[in-house]
């Protein structure tokens, strides 16, 4: 049985991919915290990512076979709209804000991974009775 065909598993997998990309962008922001003129970035909302994945997998039927996994659809990055402030060099990275975002993202990732694992265990229990 292909778990990607079950919508919950597909959605959970997409969420994990999106959160992983968000953590990478946050790490890049932190790494560039002292770079003059660097603009803090974030990923586009999860809803837009789900729509992009859905469009890629249903586009003309042939794209579904060519792009079966969400990882083939890149997560869009945008300038962080909620940046707290900038400094005189034009850098808009606030390390405290990025640390908060990294913590929130880590908690969301653990939750999504645990939900995925529990759903898999439930499905295995239903299929095998063990």
More confident residue, 88 or 120: 120
Where does the pLDDT of residue 67 fall: very low under 50, low under 70, confident under 90, or very high at 90 and above? very low
Where does the pLDDT of residue 54 fall: very low under 50, low under 70, confident under 90, or very high at 90 and above? confident
Res 29: pLDDT:
94
Q: Chain-wide mean pLDDT for the chain?
A: 83
What SS3 string covers the chain?
A: CCHHHCHHHHHHHHHHHHHHHHHHHHHHHHHCCCCCCCCCEEECCHHHHHHHHHHHHHCCCHHHHHCCCHHHCCCCEEECCCCCCCCCCCCCCCHHHHHHHHHHHHHHHHHHHHHHHHHHHHHHHHHHCC
Summarize the confidence of residues 1-13 as an average pLDDT.
Answer: 72
Share of the chain above pLDDT 90, in %: 46
The answer to whether residue 24 scores a pLDDT higher than 90 is yes
More confident residue, 96 or 55: 96
pTM: 0.77
Summarize the confidence of residues 12-19 as an average pLDDT.
Answer: 93
Q: Residue ranges per domain, the chain? A: 3-128
Summarize the confidence of residues 83-88 as an average pLDDT.
Answer: 69
């Amino acid at each position: 049985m292909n778990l990607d065909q079950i919508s919950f598993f597909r959605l959970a997998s997409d969420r994990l991919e999106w959160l992983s990309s968000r953590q990478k962008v946050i790490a890049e922001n932190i790494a560039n915290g002292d770079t003059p003129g660097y603009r803090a970035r974030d990923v586009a909302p999860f809803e837009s990512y789900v729509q992009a994945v859905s469009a890629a997998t249903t586009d003309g039927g042939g794209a579904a076979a060519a792009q079966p996994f969400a990882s083939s659809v890149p997560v869009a990055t945008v300038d962080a709209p909620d940046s707290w402030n900038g400094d005189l060099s034009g850098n808009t990275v606030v390390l405290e804000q990025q640390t908060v975002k990294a913590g929130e993202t880590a908690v969301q990732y653990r939750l999504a991974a645990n939900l995925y694992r529990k759903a898999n265990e439930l499905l295995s229990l239903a299929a095998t009775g063990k």
